[in-house]
Amino acid sequence: MSNKCPKCQFENPDDTIYCGKCGTQFPSPEDAEVTETMETPKEELTTGSTFADRYQIIEELGKGGMGRVYKVLDKEVNAKVALKLIKPEIASDKKTIERFRNELKVARDIAHKNVCRMYHLGKEEGAYYITMEYVSGEDLKSFIRRSGLISVGKAISIANQVCEGLLEAHRLGVVHRDLKPQNIMIDKDGNARIMDFGIARSLRAKGITGSGVMIGTPEYMSPEQVEGKEADQRADIYSLGVILYEMVTGRVPFEGDTPFSIGVKQKSEIPRPPKEIKEQIPEDLNRVILKCMEKEKENRYQSVGELHSELMNLEKGIPTTERIVPERKPLTSREITVTLGLKKLLVPALVFIGIVIVGVIIWQLLPKKEVIPSPSEPVKPTIAVLPFEDLSSGRDQEALADGIPETLINALSSLEGLYVSARTSSFSFKGKQQDIREIGQKLGVEALLEGSVQVAGNKLRILVRLVNIEDGFPIWSENYNKTADDVFVIQDDIARSVVKALKIKLLGEEEQIVKSYTDNREAYNLYLRGRFFWEKRGTKDLEKAIEYFEKAIEKDPSYALAYAGLADSYFVLGDNQDIPAKEAYPKAKTAAMKALEIDEGLAEAHVTLAGILEWEHNFKEAVREYQIALELKPGYATAHHWYAFYLSFFGRYDKAIEEIWKARELDPLSPRINVNVGLILYYARQYDRALEELKKSIELFPDHGANYSYLSCVYAQLGQFEEAINAKLHVYEITQGNSELSPWLAYCYALSGNRAETQKRLRDIIEYSKKGFVSYIVIARVYVGLGDKEQAFIWLDKAYSEKDSRLTYLKADPTFDPLRSDPHFTALLKKIGLED
């Protein structure tokens, strides 16, 4: 089946949107319908005539794909407006008109100095028309034709103003979808004004435009629009990239004989870099334009705010004489400008003052109800610090690009008047192209700090921006060009600038926010490498982290943070049971104590020490360390996280649940914290709630194995043994581990009554424990499942003699509930210190 062009009769494939020969656009099947008989609509208006008994035609301003545009006098309000008379072939389609009507409802709400206001969609004498604000000036296309090309400074200035207008439109959920130089006016005051939101589409009302319909101008259309796919704000970013390209080179990136051929190029051809056409174009601007024009929308700037921020930084380096400096008029809340003579202003002002005085006198005479203000905690500013981008030529400075933001997070989260998103959540967006406002909403913050790092020899360049989530505008930005030795000074300066921008009061003006802990840059770089590997948490990664921390200590024996990193590495190795706790924890304790000896204000080291003291069953000192850490750093998510487990060890489940919720509030995108919300509820024997939370965690982190391990725990306690086994087997599918040596699966088989499978697995596990590390606690659990209490206690006693780290969970763990009435179990809890 073919699609014959109604204009040139050329036979096209049946899925064609535009004719391959003449470029005529075909109507989509869902938009094609039989129209009712209508009176012949007007196609043009004559100068001097009156249209719709209201609009006196002054002159024709131009014509385009939508119809003809006129400058008219609106006699009802005695003001000049622009009137667009829509072409009959467009106006005859009811769905098109309905689309315009719905989209105009949203577009008319855009009130901004860089946007031409839309007013009204009407119908008269069979013709549809749109009225809009009249802007006196020259459209950008004419400006480019007349000038040949535009200077870099003026091009960036115009693009920045267009960004500001688009920011307001996108904030309201409106995408232009036909952004082009013909739709941008430069008014007599030098302001760039975006025209014609008449075919804009509301992001919040998807489906108004039929799928497969290509709307826009091929030279400026994004690849997704060419294909008739859903267009969001990134389509406008692509079009603005093309406009920038044309302004600085004097030509569009893709040309062709037909709209179809241009559309094909938009989809498949890589644009020639602007710098190859005009060598004087700065490399940074060349990069910005090409990023706007990426074929895949995920690779472009994800919001106009991001692009605007880049352009503003570029504009700082442009001479003032090169820029278009628009006339700044006094603004009201909706950008309304009023010009009054002094005499006209004075009389109403005096009247107003008189009314106010009379009002105050009357108000004072009225009886007043006493109002007692209720004390409320001041709302803290909220911020997230994202990992910086490594722009070094070798892309070999990832540790520094991660380390600087981590340092800032640690420093800023210690401030009383600021909420800082935890590292795990902030760094979950690393390497992902996502809209700034989406990130802010997911993290629940008002501002984002983002930046880049570039190292060349001893030269260090750091670009940093603090962005307002609400509108995507930068609150503050700075470009540091220093030496690598200045990294500590730069970090403190960034922190101070953030504090100043967010209006946070410090105890003293000279107070240092970011503490360097070492003056040895080599030690600092080794520390950053250690933290980089520590965050990966794999056994081999932790071993590498230890190696780097030890080298950092060799360079600076008084480096407290390096000792803290060493303590954390050994602690995680022991907690993950990669090596026996009795080997790992003493090393972790030595390092933590040394860190606190050097600097007792390290909250992180206090938390690690608390975990080690739990293993030693010194619970009194452990809780004291948690309390110190939380006093030093109330916003430290890990402190709340681990403290929740400490509370559950003693059966204080209400408080434990409160603490784990607090940890998740501080670190909402941490896989470990989210899954452990379910685990704490499991310890509290709230199985239905645990199930609900674990399923939520799986939605967020489907590849995080612990989700399914703890889901298996819940199913086992609910008696759903098949589900418990399948959930645990899924963990081994994810991790590609050996399920044959899984003590938990052996326990589940025991509960299900499959004693033969249990005994077989149990023999293999015990045999393996003779050459590799296996916690005796998990072997004891299998015997509990088999109902063999005697063997269960034998293995529990072995675990106690081996100082097994899992003993602290014994009171909380529901799998040992069958032993609780036995005096042997009570005696064991007392020896551990979990019972008085």
DSSP 197-245: GGG-EETTSTTSSPTT---S-GGG--HHHHTT----HHHHHHHHHHHHH
More confident residue, 404 or 366: 404
Question: In this model, does residue 378 exceed pLDDT 60?
Answer: no
pLDDT confidence of residue 6: 64
SS (H, E, C) 309-326: HHHHHHHHCCCHHHCCCC
Separation of alpha carbons 161 and 179, rounded Å = 14
Cα–Cα separations (whole angstroms), residue 708 to 492, 705, 711, 733? 42, 6, 5, 11
Identify the three-state secondary structure at position 110: coil
State mean pLDDT over 762-775.
90
Return the minimum-mean-pLDDT range out of 186-190, 229-233, 693-697.
186-190
pLDDT > 90 in the chain, percent:
40
Separation of alpha carbons 637 and 633, rounded Å = 9
Dump pLDDT digits (tens) for 175-218.
888 899 988 998 877 789 998 775 544 333 433 344 344 455 78
Separation of alpha carbons 162 and 240, rounded Å = 8
- Pick the most confident of 29-38, 151-160, 502-511: 151-160
List residues bridging with 115 in a β-sheet. 194
Question: In this model, does residue 369 exceed pLDDT 60?
Answer: no
Q: Which regions of 287-409 does DSSP assign to beta strands (E)?
A: 382-385, 389-390
Question: In this model, does residue 508 exceed pLDDT 50?
Answer: no
Separation of alpha carbons 477 and 492, rounded Å = 15
pTM score, whole prediction: 0.53
Evaluate whether 287 touches 310 at the Cβ level (below 8 Å): no
Contacts (Cβ under 8 Å, ≥6 apart) of 771: none
First to last CA, the chain: 85
Token pair recorded at residue 601: 């204000």
DSSP H stretches of helix in 701-742: 705-717, 721-735
**Pairing of the two strands 474-483 and 459-468:** antiparallel
Question: In this model, does residue 693 exceed pLDDT 80?
Answer: yes
Dump pLDDT digits (tens) for 785-836.
999 999 999 999 999 998 888 899 999 999 999 999 999 999 999 999 998 7
Return the minimum-mean-pLDDT range out of 60-69, 225-234, 271-280, 385-394.
60-69
718 secondary structure, DSSP code: T
Dump pLDDT digits (tens) for 600-619.
999 999 999 999 999 999 99
State mean pLDDT over 159-184.
89
Question: In this model, does residue 40 exceed pLDDT 60?
Answer: no
pLDDT confidence of residue 505: 61
Rg (CA), the chain: 34
pLDDT confidence of residue 21: 53
pLDDT confidence of residue 33: 39
pLDDT confidence of residue 14: 55
CATH label, 50-133, candidates 3.30.200.20, 1.10.240.10, 1.10.1040.50, 3.40.50.620: 3.30.200.20
Confidence grade of residue 20 (pLDDT, cut at 50, 70, 90):
low
Separation of alpha carbons 322 and 636, rounded Å = 48
Identify the three-state secondary structure at position 430: coil
Among 607, 678, 597, 666, which residue's Cα sits nearest to residue 637? 666
Token pair recorded at residue 233: 């704000």
pLDDT confidence of residue 381: 82
- The architecture that CATH gives domain 137-322 is Orthogonal Bundle (1.10)
Separation of alpha carbons 407 and 531, rounded Å = 11
Question: In this model, does residue 683 exceed pLDDT 80?
Answer: yes
pLDDT confidence of residue 354: 52
Confidence grade of residue 65 (pLDDT, cut at 50, 70, 90):
low
Token pair recorded at residue 614: 């739990």
Dump pLDDT digits (tens) for 525-541.
898 888 888 888 788 99
Q: Where are the domains of the chain?
A: 1-30, 50-133, 137-322, 382-516
Contacts (Cβ under 8 Å, ≥6 apart) of 89: none
| Residue with token string 């750093």 | 633
Separation of alpha carbons 514 and 386, rounded Å = 17
pLDDT confidence of residue 506: 55
Confidence grade of residue 581 (pLDDT, cut at 50, 70, 90):
confident
Token pair recorded at residue 254: 């893709």
Q: What is the mean pLDDT of the chain?
A: 82
Confidence grade of residue 391 (pLDDT, cut at 50, 70, 90):
confident
Question: In this model, does residue 491 exceed pLDDT 80?
Answer: yes
Evaluate whether 562 touches 556 at the Cβ level (below 8 Å): yes
* Residue type at position 262: I
Q: DSSP labels for 149-182?
A: S--HHHHHHHHHHHHHHHHHHHHTTEE-S---GG
Separation of alpha carbons 401 and 480, rounded Å = 14
List residues bridging with 186 in a β-sheet. 138, 192
pLDDT confidence of residue 113: 86
Evaluate whether 332 touches 113 at the Cβ level (below 8 Å): no
CATH entry 3.40.50.10070 includes domain 382-516: yes
